Amino acid sequence: MSMTPEQAAWFQGTFTRLVENVDKAVQGKHDVISLVLASMLAEGHVLLEDAPGTGKTSLAKALAATVQGTSSRIQFTPDLLPSDVTGVTIYDQQNHKFEFHKGPIFASIVLADEINRASPKTQSALLEVMEESRVTIDGVTHEAGRPFLVIATQNPVEQAGTYKLPEAQLDRFLIKTSIGYPDLAVTESILAGASDRNPSSHLSAIITTGAVADMADLAASVHVEPAVLRYVAELAEATREDGGVRLGVSVRGAIAMIRLAKVWAASRGRHYVLPDDIKALIAPAWQHRLLLDAEAEFAGTTADVVLARVLDRIAAPQARTAA
């Protein structure tokens, strides 16, 4: 059953309240907060490529406080083991049985800080839980719960001692974006409250984690016209055919776009997706999924340039506005 206009109006109001609440702790970043929140409601994960000190931890904590959830932070280092992320089974001598001790991945919002500093083996420990929201240890499956959002970060400046994320793992992030530094006025406001080391601790929860799961289910019912589905498929195919690209957008990437666009449309008070939603989301949803040809990259071609070419080449449909 498709979302109704009344449900879309409620979704928009709730989404706006959530963003405004997080904005109290992470000031001046309304657009980024909206993207991250939309990713959580689309049940995807976020990759932030940012310099240190831009508010990544504050964002994770504020989001968890807003949805009455839990948050954890994993500092990825070269000596971090997969069990340090997922947890480990330990034998209890008193009870004479093995007990599973959950790792920090079992939280509503998980900040995986500097993920590219861990070894590929540890990075791969995230693959199953990011894709399936569960962890299998010693043959036993443990559910991560809902909501479940991994916010992974990597430093774009200091690359010494880092391991490049493989394309298979990059493809599992719903979006890639950046918080960036605040403008002068917002920086001044932040400095005025610098004595408060944990601004997210003062936030009140807007909804429960159960309500977040309900919002995710509701967003999944947003209507998408066949013409819009074909538009996304044509755009994805065009990235694979572009002369400057070695690896274009996968089918998983096209599915991710539809999931994200449904939430984005609902957050705008619509129960249907428009081609403009796809255009607005194409950069954060797809730029990290493109592997550029070495010669094209040397000539100055970027993922954004390729996506702009694709948008110019593929005509957007005149989609109907309702189911």
In this prediction, residue 227 carries a pLDDT of: 95
In our burial notation (b when 16+ CB lie closer than 10 A, e otherwise), range 198-234 reads ebbeebeebbebeebbebbebbbebbbbeebeebbbb
Look up residue 287 and give its two tokens: 């730029």
Residue-wise pLDDT tens digits, 26-50:
888 999 999 999 999 999 999 998 8
Residue-wise pLDDT tens digits, 211-225:
999 999 999 999 999
In this prediction, residue 34 carries a pLDDT of: 96
Helix runs in 44-92, H state only: 56-66, 82-86
In this prediction, residue 208 carries a pLDDT of: 93
Rounded distance between C-alpha atoms, residue 123 and residue 140, angstroms: 21
Q: Residue 308: how many CB atoms within 10 A of its CB? A: 13
In this prediction, residue 161 carries a pLDDT of: 61
In this prediction, residue 323 carries a pLDDT of: 47
Residue-wise pLDDT tens digits, 224-256:
999 999 999 999 999 999 988 999 999 999 999
Rounded distance between C-alpha atoms, residue 104 and residue 91, angstroms: 20
Question: For the chain, which ranges sit under pLDDT 50?
Answer: 323
In this prediction, residue 185 carries a pLDDT of: 87
Rounded distance between C-alpha atoms, residue 57 and residue 103, angstroms: 18
Residue-wise pLDDT tens digits, 285-299:
999 999 998 888 888
Q: All domains of the chain, ordered by start, with CATH?
A: 1-195 (3.40.50.300), 222-317 (1.10.8.80)
Query: Would you call 43 exposed, middle or buried from its count of C-beta atoms within 10 A (0-12, 13-18, 19+)?
Result: buried
In this prediction, residue 164 carries a pLDDT of: 76
Look up residue 69 and give its two tokens: 């959830």
In this prediction, residue 160 carries a pLDDT of: 61
pTM for the full model? 0.90
In this prediction, residue 209 carries a pLDDT of: 92
In this prediction, residue 220 carries a pLDDT of: 96
Q: Under a CB-based contact definition with an 8 Å cutoff, are residues 176 and 49 in contact?
A: yes
